[in-house]
């Protein structure tokens, strides 16, 4: 039976830039077998766009609620997106 792949977009609000959030998100996403990217936004938020199993995406969402030790997450917005066919997980500038 083939695994169903899903696409989610997370926007993380709080003190999430300059605290290794993107690098930590890449490490967690890779550990979970997800593909996609993470990037900083001009408004101080971080976006994570990822594809993989529903279970792995749920685990990433739970991780996003706290992030790395130096982060302070105020809220996480989640939405479903269109499949992009990412082949790896990367940190974008």
Which amino acids are annotated catalytic? 22, 40
> Residue 76 and residue 85: Cα distance in Å, rounded?
24
> Residue 19 and residue 31: Cα distance in Å, rounded?
20
> Residue 54 and residue 3: Cα distance in Å, rounded?
9
> Residue 8 and residue 32: Cα distance in Å, rounded?
14
């Amino acid at each position: 039976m083939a695994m169903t792949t899903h696409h989610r977009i997370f926007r993380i609000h709080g003190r999430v830039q300059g605290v290794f959030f993107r690098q930590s998100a890449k490490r967690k996403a890779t550990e979970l077998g997800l593909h996609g990217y993470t990037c900083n936004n001009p408004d101080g938020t971080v976006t994570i766009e990822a594809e993989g199993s529903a279970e792995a995406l749920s685990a990433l969402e739970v991780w996003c609620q706290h992030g790395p030790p130096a982060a302070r997450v105020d809220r996480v917005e989640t939405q479903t997106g269109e499949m992009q066919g990412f082949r790896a997980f990367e940190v974008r500038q």
